[in-house]
Amino acid sequence: MSTEQIIYGFHSITSHIRIDPLSIKEIFIDEFRTDGRVNDLMKLIDMHQIKYHLSNKDRLDGFISNQKHQGVVAIIRDVKNKYVTIEDIVEADQPKPLLILILDGIEDPHNLGACFRVADAMGVDAIVCPKDNAVGLNSTVRKVASGGAESIPFVVVTNLARTIRYLKDNGVFIYGTDDQSNKSLNQINFNGSIALIMGSEGRGMRRLTKQLCDDIFSIPMLGQVESLNVSVASGICLYEINRQKK
């Protein structure tokens, strides 16, 4: 069954049009905006023959309460292949070893959106999140992701531990991150198919998740800051994984 979602902001909407124009149902634009960003958006709308409306601010505010929509809102059809199963990812004909990012209970949509953006830049094959106690793929996530939520498959699982076991059984090595680990990121030799687990904001990985890891490491911190945002930490780890593989 197809569902609809709202996305907003120029970057998010233009990225979505370029990646998947057929998923755009209609776009609402502030009737008083005539600047260059609107003109560029209108060129894309005309090119792909997307339905649009000139709307007043009250109508736009009605779509997105307490959000900075920048005068542009779109309704999109939820594309079925964005929510896939872990079997879809593992059993696909991949030209290279898998690289999967597992987020263990990320509740802040801005963090999830930033993780999508990092994952896209670092060539991640899928993001895996538990269904419960975690944010879903909502409009804020899509806006922050700036197109990453449209390019990276999103695997929502009911049992994260079972999913990790499935990955292990299929030759995927599971790495976890923990600030308390005595082993540093730069001491790890990454090779083969990898799933990187990043814990939730403030609490880290859950106990069972940690127990299922094949290896656990910490990110070396050289300054006074004791911890990093999950998206920043993910970017550091994924960059090192890619650096070694190259």
pLDDT tens for each residue of 70-115: 889 999 876 544 567 899 899 887 788 999 999 998 889 999 999 9
User: Is residue 54 located within the same domain as residue 144?
Assistant: no
Q: H-type helices in 49-127, by residue range?
A: 57-63, 86-90, 109-121
- Rounded alpha-carbon distances, angstroms, from residue 41 to 48, 103, 216: 11, 33, 45
Domain hosting 34: range is 4-78
Distance CA 112, CA 8 (A): 16
Residues 58 and 105 in one domain: no
109 and 92 co-located in one domain: yes
CB contact at 8 A, 39 and 110: no
Q: Which of 45, 78, 111 is the last residue of a domain?
A: 78
Same structural domain for residues 47 and 169? no
- In this structure, the answer to whether residues 60 and 130 fall within a common structural domain is no
pLDDT for res 80? 44
> Rounded to an integer, what distance in angstroms lies between the CA atom of residue 147 and that of residue 110?
14
- Given this model, what pLDDT does residue 34 score? 87
Residues 131 and 222 in one domain: yes
Contacts 24+ apart (CB under 8 A), 238-243: 238/99, 238/101, 238/118, 238/119, 238/122, 238/124, 238/196, 239/122, 240/185, 240/186, 240/188, 240/190, 241/99, 241/122, 241/190, 241/194, 241/196, 242/99, 242/122, 242/123
Which among 206, 139, 158, 144 has a CA at the least distance from the CA of 11?
144
24-30/52-55 β-pairing:
parallel
Choose one of 78, 111, 141: the last residue of a domain. 78
Strands 24-30 and 72-77: antiparallel
CA nearest neighbour of 183 among 215, 217, 220, 222: 217
Q: What pLDDT is stored for residue 64 in this prediction?
A: 78
Domain total of the chain: 2
| 41-74 tens-digit pLDDT | 999 999 888 999 999 888 888 887 666 788 899 9
Instruction: Give the pTM.
Output: 0.73
